[in-house]
Chain A
């Protein structure tokens, strides 16, 4: 593929457009990215795209940003990643900045204030709905450790004001340990990993 100005513009503008018109964050934008880069542009094949998304989901930070970094890096290395990050971040940055000025000017207006007050109850319900779905998924798995982690994390955060980062580090280490055990412990050391990679 020729990497001319048009290619870079296309890479940047594709992510910009996806980001500007996708409501609802990573869960929505990722399938649309697949459609754009796999089906329409045919730049990346389907299996590789799934891996790129999985890696994006494994890293911290917004999934939409991470997936776009992966696509940019895959297409044009580090400069490509910077282009796609810029394309993903610019629309919300511009839109929210504009809304913030509006919000600060109008929040004392009676109608706007009651509108937001009503919507606060709405967003509380949206978050409750998300939490119910996520917790149900963990409980349905019927594994004891995740349920204990969930319960203890909740108590630590809600009643003891334990630092969130501490809770995440502890449960992350626990996850790493169980993943390591599940893979057969010491048998799977870095050597076998390397061999796999050089196939």
Chain B
């Protein structure tokens, strides 16, 4: 039953994440943190961090992580299979259409229409990740006294580095992690 639940949850993630990259982020968060409570918001932020530093798409990494945590290796396989099944079906249909008709402008129109919504949804997830990093929780009401000044400093410094010098995000995160170890141990 758990395996089926994992498969289905990540099937939905695979089916509705349009536009690649971080588009899957809000969907994974909804399924994994909110609906099924498989991960805490902190663990969810951790899997994003791990995902940045390892090869592979975020949704595949998240499905392997959540699957392993909930039901071991069979869970990882079930969740990952769920994640790629919609791709297999839909891409094969589009491939067949492409080789027959060569026209996909309607599909591309839908994708263009989705993009602003996708950006907004990533922003919305990003805010709860930021709140988790800064306050240790994303649940309202949040009291300002719970603010972790070190985390706020690391966030601002990381964002500044990313905007100003455009380095590989891996280095920014590793840097934030190492500074975190130093600051929190003082």
Contacts and interface: CB of A to CB of B under 8 A. Distances in A.
Interface string A113-128: 0111111111111111
Contact of A172 (B30, B105, B114, B123): B114
Contacts of B92: 69, 73, 78, 81
Majority secondary structure, B binding face: helix
B163 to A, nearest CB: 6
A78 B92 CA distance: 8
B106 A180 contact: yes
A23 B162 CA distance: 17
Contacts of A99: 50, 54, 65
Nearest to B160: A125
B176 to A, nearest CB: 3
Interface stretch (A6-14, A35-43, A100-108): A100-108
Contacts, number: 374
B53, B161, B181, B184: which has the most chain A beta carbons within 10 Å? B181
A93 B22 CA distance: 18
A126 B162 contact: yes
Contact of B155 (A114, A124, A196): A124
Interface string A153-187: 11001100001110110111111111110110000
A5 interface: no
Majority secondary structure, A binding face: helix
A50 interface: no
A37 to B, nearest CB: 15
A197 B108 contact: no
Contacts of B161: 125
Nearest to B67: A97
B61 A92 contact: yes
A175 B121 contact: no
Contact of A123 (B56, B129, B163): B129
Contacts of A171: 113-114, 116-117
A1 interface: no
Contacts of B172: 122, 125-126
Contacts of B183: 118
A97, A135, A165, A176: which has the most chain B beta carbons within 10 Å? A97
Interface of B: 12, 14-22, 24-27, 30, 42, 45-46, 48-61, 64-65, 67-69, 73, 76-77, 80, 83-84, 86-88, 90-92, 94-95, 98, 100-127, 129-130, 132-134, 151-152, 154-155, 158-159, 161-163, 168-170, 172-181, 183-185
